[in-house]
Chain A
Amino acid sequence: MVESSPIETVSPLKGLDAQIHYGSDFRLVALPHRTRINLRGDGGSQFGEAVSAVTGLALPTVPNTTKLADDYSAELIWLGPDEWLFRCQDGWRSKRATNWVASLRSALVGAHSAVVDVSDYHIELELSGLQVLRVMRKLTPLDLCAAIADPRHCAQTRFANASVLLTCRPADDDTEAVATEPGVYVIQVRWSFARYLWQHLAEAAREFR
């Protein structure tokens, strides 16, 4: 319906540099808008099968892990024993957020669950580079090496005063991101904190300018 008409969108990062890129040391860029669906349910096999039937991804049941589509365009993230986040590129499998919500709700009919479109709740920032851990360590007390020992781990933590969801994926070829171990990081931060966090990251990366 109306979503097809081009409506001007706004980002909290408006007016800031499009990216911060310091050679192979560090790169920070805001990701384009994604479809993001918050899922609540008991995590049992019925729930898991329904979710995976719709998304094509297995439901991660190991705490702080994710399931990533082969081409990285969709992901299921464990947020809690009864909470997950499904995120995918807009238009993935020709579906928009409203379609995903409808599909998931109908697949989960009868099961106690909640499916909520939170596509605009967070801004997604992608960080990469040889010094990415060093930059992040200026902002978060989390032991990143232990918490995200390899890609497909995730963590909910604090960067400065912002609560964030941190995920990781292997660096791939078609991205401009700098390939590093364990991979490329994505920070999901609330809309109204995105500008504050961006400025913090820019300051933290300053030594690699």
Chain B
Amino acid sequence: MTHRNRIDGAGRVRRGSAVRFRFDGRQYFGYHGDTLASALLANGVHLVGRSFKYHRPRGISAAGSEDPNALVQLERGPYTQPNTCATQIELYDGLDARSQNRWPSLGFDIGGINAWLARFIPSGFYYKTFMWPVSGWLFYEKFIRRAAGLGVSPREPDPDRYEQLHAHCDVLVVGAGPAGLGAALAAGRCGARVIIMDEQSEFGGSVLGRQVDIDGNSGIEWVRRTRESLGSMSNVQCVPRCTVTGYYDYNFLTALERVTDHLGPGADDRLPRQRFWKIRARRVVLASGAIERPLLFADNDRPGVMLANAVRTYINRYRVLPGRAICVLTNNDSAYECAWDAHEAGARVTIVDVRDAVPDHLAEKARVAGIEIHTGCGITAVQGRLAVRSVDIRPLSQDGRRVTGVRTRIECSIVANSGGWNPSVHLHSQSRGKLRFDTDLHSFVPAETVAINPSVSVGAACGEFSLSACLVDGHRQGKAAAQAALPAGEYQDAAGRAAATDDAPADAPLKPLWVLPTDHPVGQGPRKHFHDFQNDVTVADIMLAAREGYLSVEHLKRYTTTGMATDQGKTSNVNALAIMAGIRGLDIPAVGTTTFRPPYTPVTFGAIAGQNRDELFLQHRHTPMHTWHVEHGAIFEDVGDWKRPRYFPQAGESMHDAVQRESLATRRSVGVLDASTLGKIDIQGPDAARFLEMIYTNNWLKLGIGKCRYGLMLNEHGMVFDDGVTTRLGEHHYHMTTTTGGAARVMNWLEEWLQTEWPDMQVYCTSVTEQWAVAAINGPQAPALLASLADTDLSDEAFPHMSYREMAVAGIPARVFRISFTGEQAYEINVPARYGLALWQALTEAGRPLDLCVYGTETMHLLRAEKGFIIVGQDTDGTVTPADLGMNWIVSKTKRDYLGKRSQSRSHTAGGGRRQLVGLLTEDRRTLLDEGVHLVARADSAPPVSAEGHVTSSYLSPNVGRPIAMGLVREGLSRYGETLYARTMQGDSIKVRIVKPEFIDADGGAVHG
């Protein structure tokens, strides 16, 4: 097996370890250590996809995450992933990738017709379809959505697992190139907790793609030793395959670690596919390197046009020579290194330098190697559609804007393109650090940071492009970061010395030229200058945006969509600014710069969700009796986080059947409800009664020990916000119950008042909700049921309604409250949670001869409605006062104060026209009203009709023998006997009569037996 483009030498691939993979259905092989991109290039495959809008053939153009072109659809079925970057996919055996956005095939793509229609679909055409004709968008949308776009999402659920991991460190080093490695080593030696992350499969950064010497050894050897030193320090964590994607305030950063992506789908069941790091760092060292930017020339998107540094990386790291004839196009010195390496690898190299003069040492080296240099020239045309065959070059005018002289054709299959370097300032910018335009580098470099995000950019990320300076800078800043992060006593001055390397001669200045002219004015002929490859944005599009007035960078970006693709414009942003600056005749800094936003590279939603999926997504809170409910076929409903049994259907029963049966049985004999979820708060202290006086609307000072009382809680606005029964357990000791959903809210409410407004009150509140399991037994046989399990006098005299006793129930120590939410004789039996199931089993056993019925929340709701008892949150909605509920009886007229008192006399609260809670009966005695339905005065009035009120609760009551409802009706308490109409969604009008909300046992005798 041989590769067309593979050259001798190991590089960083394991030549002994071949792996097979497929691309567009064809079988290829590569080596471990290859990326999909390097393996494709080794096999001579340049064409990998079609572009977003014009469907132009596109090839691999870079070697890292900045590549805007090499996006492929990876794997199939549930594992498929769109828009993955071939330069970042590590090769594994059996890898299966396909090109995107082409039909029927990559070589022949029908969508390519868009390229011919280009003049009708310039930038902004998409927005224009919104505007004219008005109905047009609905028509166009289908076609535009299908024609544009890249890969396809999987339709199946994601079979992979992901996880989140929180991390804390003194120093986070982003990037493990020479600067980052130096920083991590220095910080680690100084005693700092260090995390160093790098997006590549191995540490080394630029060293991996270059032949350099460090500390008297090869650069690769230095990386190996440094990695080893870092690995030996317990305070240093090295994380390869991990991209720091977001930088948020207070030095909170997120990172995506690709844990098993390089092994292929489903390779290791124990490990997550990806890990989402949430990092809190005292100091951040940004050693994220720099990204080469391309010169923009005519038809610069042809497969074979690559960044010069990428060509160099493929040669040195992967030992892949992308083509035998390479034309190096540059405006700076750095690309000459690519020329030397390509020459050494056996390529025929030609250099086209837009500068008029080349430094002598470079010219001499080229001469010795026999490499021809065309100075003062630029590429003006590219031949070849699916691959570069040759390029035309012409001399340029002094300002670089015009072509002069004659055309020369250079045969080549690769153009190695370099327009200079942009420091990777993305994370610095995300941290809201400022940028400065460096007029020597012609690049944006990091300037001030913000105080809340202490960080420093080092090495190439800071515009320091020489290796020796990177090593020194990284070391120095790593040490400084450790010193800043560590308390004085913990810092050790043990950073050692920085690694060193022989310096190459200083670079000559680059020529700030951005767009190379062609034979026709830019934008006015067949040749296109692409600057954002992924969103297919050309230089002409920027000119159009400028003509249409979108001069601001933020407008430019949105109008042309430049920089808005998955690559976030890593190779295009600065070029776009430079082009706009050129059009407007301004300096680049005057045009401004856009804000970099997270993520740096795409992050899967799965990783963000982490392990919080399925049963781990949200807690299902269960009561101690839960297993019994499950075993007995309960249908559950969500009440907050709780799973409460809604009803217990017997064989063949519908919900309606079950609820009717449960409701009848409870009033006929006895029913039991799991009421464990009720909020419970233990209140103790000499001021407890005074405290309750303020919290509730009614009187508490005279409640006897062992007695229970119902209370309403209001907020400051005088609106009902919770209710429940509170019992006096001892002299200064109370047990409060709250609604299930209100438990946490009430606890916070009590603490807030105690801690902020009434610190003088001697009261302690302790939540005991989960301490107690509660079974509520209701019905005429409830005393008999309790008597069968408790050896206690249950007579009305010994244990009257609204009182409390401690006793053993079924041998379990219990607190029993004789309180009723059904109007029947009832007991709420509280036992420690661990005994909840035992209590429940004892009750259901003992209840068998009494025809005991187990009921759920639906029946609980129905039974309380038959009595007209409210449910806070159902019959109230935060706008309802006690008076609105007809519950003035529970509001003290004598108390000096209680929470919400003053609001009761507010004009709006005390005035007329308020909606008040009433009972509602349908005239036909059959129709069940929908909860939420609106009530109007007349059956036949045409809309708009003002509503008289709405239905809050509605049930078919088997005990009353007809549907019953409650609702909030305007001045309803004075309208008993009147009729209203419920207007249904179906358009029917149902006649209802307003009644007192008390449908059963109006004299209240049932609770006493």
A residues neighboring B (CB under 8 Å): 1-3, 5, 7-12, 14-15, 33, 38, 40, 82, 98, 112-122, 137-138, 140-143, 145-146, 160-162, 190-193, 195-196, 199-200, 203-204, 206-209
- Interface flags, B268-300, vs A, CB<8A=1, else 0: 001110000010100000000000000000000
Q: Say yes or no: B619 contacts A10, CB within 8 Å.
A: no
Cβ distance A188 to chain B, nearest Cβ, rounded Å: 12
Across-interface contacts of A8 in B (CB, < 8 A): 835, 837-838, 841
Q: Say yes or no: B616 contacts A141, CB within 8 Å.
A: no
Across-interface contacts of A2 in B (CB, < 8 A): 808, 811-813
Q: How far is the CA of A120 from the CA of B612 in the complex (A)?
A: 27
Cβ distance B921 to chain A, nearest Cβ, rounded Å: 40
Q: Would A191 and B280 be within 8 Å (CB), given that A2-B813, A11-B834, A120-B834 are in contact?
A: no
Q: Say yes or no: B278 contacts A1, CB within 8 Å.
A: no
Q: How far is the CA of A152 from the CA of B838 in the complex (A)?
A: 36
Q: How far is the CA of A24 from the CA of B472 in the complex (A)?
A: 42
Cβ distance A29 to chain B, nearest Cβ, rounded Å: 17
Cβ distance A130 to chain B, nearest Cβ, rounded Å: 12
Cβ distance A86 to chain B, nearest Cβ, rounded Å: 13
Q: Would A10 and B837 be within 8 Å (CB), given that A118-B766, A196-B619, A196-B620 are in contact?
A: yes
Interface residues of B in 656-691 (CB under 8 A from A): 682, 684-686
Q: Say yes or no: A145 contacts B168, CB within 8 Å.
A: yes
Interface size on B, residues (CB 8 A): 54
Interface: B627 (CB within 8 A): yes
Q: How far is the CA of A65 from the CA of B837 in the complex (A)?
A: 35
Q: Which residue of A lies closest to B767 (CB)?
A: A121
Interface residues of B in 772-813 (CB under 8 A from A): 772, 808, 810-813
Q: Say yes or no: A33 contacts B834, CB within 8 Å.
A: yes
Q: Would A116 and B762 be within 8 Å (CB), given that A2-B811, A207-B270 are in contact?
A: no
Q: Which residue of B lies closest to A141 (CB)?
A: B166
Across-interface contacts of A117 in B (CB, < 8 A): 771
Interface residues of B in 597-634 (CB under 8 A from A): 610-612, 615-616, 618-624, 627
- Interface flags, B15-49, vs A, CB<8A=1, else 0: 00000000000000000000000000000000000
Q: How far is the CA of A142 from the CA of B167 in the complex (A)?
A: 9
Interface: B75 (CB within 8 A): no
Q: Say yes or no: B837 contacts A192, CB within 8 Å.
A: no
Q: Would A40 and B168 be within 8 Å (CB), given that A3-B813, A117-B771 are in contact?
A: no
- Interface flags, B153-169, vs A, CB<8A=1, else 0: 00000000101111110
Q: Which residue of A lies closest to B676 (CB)?
A: A192
Q: How far is the CA of A138 from the CA of B165 in the complex (A)?
A: 4
Q: How far is the CA of A54 from the CA of B694 in the complex (A)?
A: 35
Q: Say yes or no: A160 contacts B616, CB within 8 Å.
A: yes
Cβ distance A185 to chain B, nearest Cβ, rounded Å: 16
Q: How far is the CA of A188 from the CA of B491 in the complex (A)?
A: 36
Our pick among B161, B615, B833, B835 for the contact of A7 (Cβ within 8 Å) is B835
Interface: B764 (CB within 8 A): yes
Q: Say yes or no: B167 contacts A137, CB within 8 Å.
A: yes
Q: How far is the CA of A76 from the CA of B748 in the complex (A)?
A: 25
Interface: B768 (CB within 8 A): yes
Interface residues of B in 920-940 (CB under 8 A from A): none
Q: Say yes or no: B685 contacts A120, CB within 8 Å.
A: no
Q: Say yes or no: B612 contacts A160, CB within 8 Å.
A: yes
Q: How far is the CA of A86 from the CA of B168 in the complex (A)?
A: 31
Across-interface contacts of A160 in B (CB, < 8 A): 612, 616, 619
Across-interface contacts of B627 in A (CB, < 8 A): 10, 14-15
Q: How far is the CA of A191 from the CA of B165 in the complex (A)?
A: 25
Q: Say yes or no: B616 contacts A199, CB within 8 Å.
A: yes
Which 9 residue pairs spanning A and B have beta carbons closest together? A192-B621, A114-B764, A120-B833, A114-B684, A40-B764, A143-B168, A10-B837, A9-B834, A196-B619
Cβ distance A122 to chain B, nearest Cβ, rounded Å: 8
Across-interface contacts of B278 in A (CB, < 8 A): 141
Q: Say yes or no: A112 contacts B618, CB within 8 Å.
A: no
Across-interface contacts of B682 in A (CB, < 8 A): 114, 116
Q: Which residue of A lies closest to B615 (CB)?
A: A199
Q: How far is the CA of A7 from the CA of B837 in the complex (A)?
A: 10
Across-interface contacts of A120 in B (CB, < 8 A): 770-772, 832-834
Q: How far is the CA of A177 from the CA of B808 in the complex (A)?
A: 38
Across-interface contacts of A193 in B (CB, < 8 A): 619, 621
Q: How far is the CA of A138 from the CA of B167 in the complex (A)?
A: 9
5 residue pairs of the A-B complex, CB under 8 angstroms, read A117-B771, A161-B618, A161-B619, A199-B615, A207-B270
Q: Would A119 and B811 be within 8 Å (CB), given that A10-B624, A114-B684, A191-B624 are in contact?
A: no
Q: Which residue of B lies closest to A15 (CB)?
A: B627
Interface residues of B in 841-891 (CB under 8 A from A): 841
Q: Which residue of B lies closest to A162 (CB)?
A: B619
Across-interface contacts of A7 in B (CB, < 8 A): 810-812, 835, 838
The residue in A11, A38, A116, A190 that gathers the most chain B C-beta atoms within 10 A of its C-beta is: A116
Across-interface contacts of A190 in B (CB, < 8 A): 770
Q: Which residue of A lies closest to B808 (CB)?
A: A2
Cβ distance B157 to chain A, nearest Cβ, rounded Å: 17
Q: Say yes or no: B832 contacts A119, CB within 8 Å.
A: yes
Cβ distance A167 to chain B, nearest Cβ, rounded Å: 19
Q: Which residue of B lies closest to A144 (CB)?
A: B168
Across-interface contacts of B833 in A (CB, < 8 A): 10, 120-121, 191
Q: How far is the CA of A2 from the CA of B497 in the complex (A)?
A: 74
Interface: B836 (CB within 8 A): yes
Q: How far is the CA of A160 from the CA of B641 in the complex (A)?
A: 14
Q: How far is the CA of A2 from the CA of B610 in the complex (A)?
A: 47
Interface: B596 (CB within 8 A): no
Our pick among A114, A118, A140, A206 for the contact of B771 (Cβ within 8 Å) is A118
Q: How far is the CA of A160 from the CA of B165 in the complex (A)?
A: 11
